[in-house]
Amino acid sequence: MAQQDTTQHQLRTVEVFGKPAEVYATGSRVVQLDSAFLSTYSSGSLAEALQARTPIYFKSYGVSGSSSVAFRGTNASQTAVLWNGLHIASPTLGQSDFSVLPLSGIGEVAVQHGAAAASYGSGAIGGAVLLNSPKYKTEGIGGDVKLETGSFDRYFGSGNLGYGSKKFSYALSAYGHLAENTFKYKDLSRFGTPEVQQEHAQVQQHGLTQDLNWHISPATELSLHGWYTFSDRELQPAMGAVNTNARQLDESLRLMAGLQHQSQLGQTDVKLAYFNDFLHYTDNSNDSEADVDTYQLQAEQTYTYGTRWSLRGGVNLQHFVARNDGYAREQEESRASLFALFRYDPVQPLQLTLNLRQALVENYNPPLTPALGFNWKFLNSNQHQVSLKGNASGSYRVPTLNDRFWAGAGNPDLKPEQGWNYELGLRHVLVQGNAFLLETEATGYYMLIDDWIQWTPNYTGLWRPTNLQKVESKGIELSTTATATLGEVKLSSTAGYTYTSSVQAAVYEGSGSDKGRQLMYVPRHKAILATEAKYKSWSLLGNLNYTGLRYTSNSETSHLDDFILLNLALSRRLQLGPNTLLLTLRSDNLTNAAYQTMAYRAMPPRGYTFSLRFILP
Amino acid sequence: MKKLNYFRSFFLAATLAVTSLGFTSCDDKDNIEPELPAEVRGPFDQKGVFILNEGNYTHTNSSVSFMSDSTGHAVANHIFSKANADRPLGDVLTDLDLVEDRAYLTVNNSNKIEVVNAYTFKTEAVLENLKQPRYFTALDADKAYVTEWITYGAPGQVSVIDLKTMKITKSIPVGIQPEELLLAGGKLYVANSGANTITVINTATDAVENTITVSDSPMNLALDRNNNLWVLSAGKIVYTSDWSAIDYTLTTAGALSKVTPATQNVETYTFDSNRTIPTNLVINGSGDKLYFIYDGKTFVQDINASGLSSTVFINSGFHGLGVDPETGNIYAGDHNNWTGDGTVRVYSPDGQQVSNFKVGIGPRGFVFN
């Protein structure tokens, strides 16, 4: 979980101003998902990975349904999702369904905690999930094939092929996934709570990624990325609710070209992208389609002066063309934002950043969004490093295309959401030679989100979006990672705990009788313990996850019980000449816990998965 | 998109939401043997009101609350789950009917009727595999009727239930989306909300006897003291050809109709706008005052008035409405934006709020015990 800290730690020692956007995010918490975990669980979705390894809570509509995120007590629209630096959330719904975002074909997953809208734009209120394409580093041809089979009729296959040289690299990756999800569960809603087999939860997914990097000259690099995902799902009905044969097809094509050029004026980055998101929902009485084209251009210039100053300025343009059965006609919207990110290190142990973003959107006028952060390493001895860090940042979210264009439900008075996030953290790093590294971090935050948009019925019963409430969220995030080498055993372990309190502070419509109570589906407590142990050719990956009680409405009168999930994966690496064969046996939900993340949506019991991965050098 | 369909369905469910009272049989007390056992047969063996909490569509969180009439007016929520080892009641509770010492809970999107002991709320039987059941009414201790939509937009049916065996003995085809039903004078009246008709069934033969034409989308039925049948029609919503907007040139306004059963004469009062839908027709215990909701306000209407009432009783609308047949107090269900527990507001017969209390999600109906 705190892997990114290591990266940052190295970054600071190796080069002061690296490329990642985190350079301008001092004082905030950025955590990278462990690469061993990502490769072992590559057949899963981003929702499963983040649920298992981060404090973020995902509400899943069963094993086959959509997964929506709750980060620092916010809702699904209030977490931005970026792929290679560009927003990919559905512009119609304003959120990403994390269950249709596969891990396969994704190189890095990082999680930015807290508001980061000055850096990432609309929607980065509770946090941001940053996805990056893999970097193909090996010279010559390489690749791997993975085949996997698991309980409840689950099959997965993926293949990667890459070629790299000094100037050029190319990688192609494809996957296919079929899960019947024929597990048994106890139907809590039926008289006598009989054990029944899950019906109507089949998932079929496939996809493709292509990544190309070409150093045209020593100072100029061209990159092309393509990502196609297809998902056809039977939506699992809730226990007690009729199976209406609901089915959803999601198809997304994401293409982008990037150009990076180094000159005396610093680094120029231009990204041009085209996304198409198609969604087709059907059930016994509905049949609706949404098809959105998104065009994006992001251009930025980074200028670094010496080792103390760095300035990045840029512009982001988005244009949406949406066809949706709920809209009166094809609708278009353009959005622009200008940003300036500034970093200054007055003295070596102190880093300061100031970020500003001004978004310009038809019909809405989001305010200027600032972020101010610092990182002060006040103790730096041989073994110990202690830093104090903090930031204050604004955030905003522009209403979605549905909020704006849904026929008959328009609300001309709708305003963008606006948030403020304040946090303070302490970080300790203990290094003992090459054998032991302990990194500990504690963060406390306070957040206010006003004009929170929600669909509610008006006085005549018509459902439409409205700026319903102001939410106050506060919490504590603790994590500690130990990395140790004991003879031939390599151990790495992360423990994390978060406390989240998220309540309505004001309600602008209706009785507001739930003020001060915890918002639904926000666990107050979540804890994880992740361990990786390596011994010779063996490796063991363990993941223990505790999710506290969650209320199922805003009144704190009904809830889902807390649960513990244990996942274990045992791998053995066999060397076959120059090639490697990796055998993995894993068990998810080893303790066979009966749990739900969304009320009455059955989740799978204990299951086993066996996988073979053949790696060309 | 899923969310949007949810909204669409929800809008539909919310539009169709009507109170379930007026016609439910509350006279079971009279049928109990004169020598009442002195002991209390369960926590709900007392005067009070059952509140039907619809819950969020597809979330299996319907519930029943009970407020006691005794001093303190204690409110018990989730009485079904508490009596049944935390088992949820189901998805979208539309009706609750008391028949002798049992209560019949119609759970629309669970396709079932839960039969519980009226005093303990422990389940005694479940009638499953219904086809979108909406409303239930019992003729006597042996026979009851339930309206079923079958499929949205297609003709529905009324199924006859043998209450002794809890088996369906017959299904009678009726109009599209049959909603409320009402027994009067040996006849069963069924409001076909997807059409503009009331189906009349003879309860001796269980055969359709007649069809009465009223305004578009009849939803609620109430019987007044003169044995006239009042019908509240929502009006027909017509969408543009691409289903993307409501076509107000074709959408019809709602109406309140008075049907004289003997002559089948229909007298209709049409509302002034087709942009807002009248809902929640209920009648008081003495059968002379009608209450309904229109344009975000609650109106009261005398049964002898010669036009639609302009008397605003409460200056807001509600999801559910009920009238205590003894006190004449009005019970109104506030949905609290559907994100948390609803509130029931109690108004005196002169429109003053006398109390309020919290119940489950989406209070839509009241059954007085």
Does B58 sit within 8 Å of A189, measured CB to CB?
no
* Whether pLDDT at A1 is above 90: no
**Residue from B260, B151, B145 nearest B201 by CA:** B145
Q: What is the dihedral of CA A243, A245, A249, A250, to 10 degrees?
A: -20
Nearest CA in chain A to B62: A240
Phi and psi at B310, nearest 5°, equal -115, 15
Look up residue A56 and give its two tokens. 């973020």
* Alpha carbon distance A494, A529 (integer Å): 6
**Residue from A284, A58, A190 nearest A600 by CA:** A190
* Alpha carbon distance A29, A126 (integer Å): 12
Residue type, B204: A
Does A455 sit within 8 Å of B7, measured CB to CB?
yes
* Whether pLDDT at A535 is above 60: yes
Look up residue A292 and give its two tokens. 């959105």
Measure CB to CB from residue B246 to each of A235, A324, A408 and give the nearest one: A408
User: pLDDT tens across A437-478, in order?
Assistant: 999 999 999 999 999 999 998 888 888 999 999 999 999 999
ipTM for the complex?
0.89
The alpha carbon dihedral of A282, A283, A287, A291 has a sign of: negative
Assess contact for B340 and B328: CB atoms under 8 A: no
Q: Residue A561: how many CA atoms within 13 Å on its side-chain side?
A: 7
Assess contact for A357 and A368: CB atoms under 8 A: yes
User: pLDDT tens across A571-590, in order?
Assistant: 999 999 999 999 999 999 99
Assess contact for A24 and A341: CB atoms under 8 A: yes
pTM of the model: 0.90
Q: How do the domains of chain A map onto residue ranges?
A: 8-610
b (16+ CB within 10 A) / e for A499-533: bbebbbeebebbbbbbeebbbbbbbbebbbbbbbb
Do β-strands A127-132 and A79-83 pair in parallel, antiparallel, or remain unpaired?
parallel
User: pLDDT tens across A39-53, in order?
Assistant: 999 999 999 999 999
Measured between beta carbons, the chain B residues lying within 8 angstroms of A464 are: none
HEC string for B322-352: EECCCCCCEEEEECHHHCCCCEEEEECCCCC
Choose, out of B5, B6, B335, the residue to mutate when testing the contact with A (most A CBs < 10 Å): B5
- % residues pLDDT > 90 (chain A): 85
Does B341 sit within 8 Å of A557, measured CB to CB?
yes
* Alpha carbon distance A157, A150 (integer Å): 12
Residue type, A273: A
Measured between beta carbons, the chain A residues lying within 8 angstroms of B123 are: 191
Measured between beta carbons, the chain A residues lying within 8 angstroms of B335 are: 457, 510
User: pLDDT tens across B75-98, in order?
Assistant: 999 999 999 999 999 999 999 999
Measured between beta carbons, the chain B residues lying within 8 angstroms of A602 are: none
Amino acid B13: pLDDT: 44
Look up residue B197 and give its two tokens. 């008709």
User: pLDDT tens across A158-200, in order?
Assistant: 999 999 998 999 999 999 999 999 999 999 999 999 999 999 9
Helix ranges, A339-414 (H): 401-405
How many residues are recorded in chain A? 617
Domain A8-610, CATH: 2.40.170.20
Assess contact for A535 and A503: CB atoms under 8 A: no
Does B341 sit within 8 Å of A513, measured CB to CB?
yes
Measured between beta carbons, the chain A residues lying within 8 angstroms of B280 are: none
Amino acid A19: pLDDT: 43
Assess contact for A19 and A7: CB atoms under 8 A: no
Scanning the structure block, which residue is given the tokens 């389940």? B123
Q: Residue A252: how many CA atoms within 13 Å on its side-chain side?
A: 22
Does B337 sit within 8 Å of A509, measured CB to CB?
yes
Assess contact for B256 and B222: CB atoms under 8 A: no
pLDDT range class, residue A434, cuts 50, 70, 90: confident
Nearest CA in chain A to B122: A191
Kindly give, in sequence order, each residue whose CB lies less than 8 Å from that of residue A428, ignoring residues fewer than 6 positions away: A384, A385, A386, A387, A438, A439, A440, A441
Q: What is the dihedral of CA A113, A117, A122, A125, to 10 degrees?
A: 40
CB atoms within 10 A of CB B71: 6
* Alpha carbon distance A537, A583 (integer Å): 11
Amino acid A2: pLDDT: 36
User: E strands of A17-93, at which residues?
Assistant: 29-32, 57-60, 67-70, 79-83, 86-87
Does B5 sit within 8 Å of A513, measured CB to CB?
no
Measured between beta carbons, the chain B residues lying within 8 angstroms of A462 are: 11
Nearest CA in chain B to A287: B5
Choose, out of B339, B345, B358, B359, the residue to mutate when testing the contact with A (most A CBs < 10 Å): B339
Partner residues linked to B302 by β-bridges? B289
Kindly give, in sequence order, each residue whose CB lies less than 8 Å from that of residue B305, ignoring residues fewer than 6 positions away: none
Amino acid B35: pLDDT: 52
* Alpha carbon distance A465, A400 (integer Å): 10
Assess contact for B111 and B90: CB atoms under 8 A: no
Look up residue A587 and give its two tokens. 């068990």
Amino acid A382: pLDDT: 86
Nearest CA in chain A to B333: A511
Report the alpha-carbon angle B109-B115-B121, nearest 5.
105
**Residue from B132, B194, B130 nearest B160 by CA:** B130
Q: What does the mean pLDDT of chain A come to? A: 92
Nearest CA in chain A to B153: A285
pLDDT range class, residue B39, cuts 50, 70, 90: confident
Measured between beta carbons, the chain B residues lying within 8 angstroms of A188 are: 86-88
* Alpha carbon distance A230, A249 (integer Å): 8
Look up residue A155 and give its two tokens. 């099959």
* Whether pLDDT at A21 is above 80: no
Amino acid A336: pLDDT: 96
Amino acid B19: pLDDT: 33
Amino acid B22: pLDDT: 35
User: pLDDT tens across A232-256, in order?
Assistant: 999 999 999 999 999 999 999 999 9
Scanning the structure block, which residue is given the tokens 């328009």? A410
* Whether pLDDT at A18 is above 80: no
Assess contact for A321 and A276: CB atoms under 8 A: no
Nearest CA in chain A to B9: A286
Assess contact for A58 and A29: CB atoms under 8 A: no
Measured between beta carbons, the chain B residues lying within 8 angstroms of A200 are: none
Provide the 8-state DSSP code for A518: B
pLDDT range class, residue B38, cuts 50, 70, 90: low
Amino acid A43: pLDDT: 94
CB atoms within 10 A of CB B106: 27
Residue type, A343: R
Phi and psi at B109, nearest 5°, equal -85, 10
* Whether pLDDT at A610 is above 70: yes
Question: What DSSP letter does each residue of A406-427 carry, written as one string?
Answer: BTT---TT---EEEEEEEEEEE
Does B1 sit within 8 Å of A460, measured CB to CB?
no
Assess contact for B48 and B64: CB atoms under 8 A: no
**Residue from A337, A392, A304, A277 nearest B1 by CA:** A277
Measured between beta carbons, the chain A residues lying within 8 angstroms of B153 are: 285
* Alpha carbon distance B10, B58 (integer Å): 9
* Whether pLDDT at B21 is above 60: no
Q: Nearest CA to CA, how far is A195 from chain B (Å)?
A: 14
By the 10 Å C-beta count (0-12 exposed, 13-18 middle, 19+ buried), B143 is classed as middle
Q: Which of A246-250, B29-33, B206-210, B336-340 has the lowest mean pLDDT?
A: B29-33
Kindly give, in sequence order, each residue whose CB lies less than 8 Å from that of residue B143, ignoring residues fewer than 6 positions away: B160, B161, B162, B163, B203
* Alpha carbon distance B148, B108 (integer Å): 9
* Alpha carbon distance B74, B66 (integer Å): 8
Amino acid A462: pLDDT: 85
* Alpha carbon distance A33, A2 (integer Å): 8
CA distances A102 to A98, A119, A359, Å, are 8, 25, 30
Average pLDDT over residues A266-295: 95
* Alpha carbon distance A146, A170 (integer Å): 19
Assess contact for B23 and A471: CB atoms under 8 A: no
Amino acid A257: pLDDT: 98
CB atoms within 10 A of CB A487: 7
User: pLDDT tens across B147-170, in order?
Assistant: 999 999 999 999 999 999 999 999
Do β-strands A203-217 and A195-197 pair in parallel, antiparallel, or remain unpaired?
unpaired
Nearest CA in chain B to A508: B337
**Residue from B239, B254, B17, B16 nearest A407 by CA:** B239
Scanning the structure block, which residue is given the tokens 């978004």? A359
Measured between beta carbons, the chain A residues lying within 8 angstroms of B91 are: 238, 240-242
Assess contact for A427 and B263: CB atoms under 8 A: no
Look up residue B170 and give its two tokens. 């017959």
Describe the strand order of the beta sheet including B112-117 as a list of residue ranges.
B93-99, B102-107, B112-117, B123-127
* Alpha carbon distance A370, A368 (integer Å): 6
Phi and psi at A155, nearest 5°, equal -135, 140
3-state helix, strand, coil in chain B (%, to 5): 10, 45, 45
Q: Nearest CA to CA, how far is A423 from chain B (Å)?
A: 29
Measure CB to CB from residue B317 to each of A241, A248, A459 and give the nearest one: A459
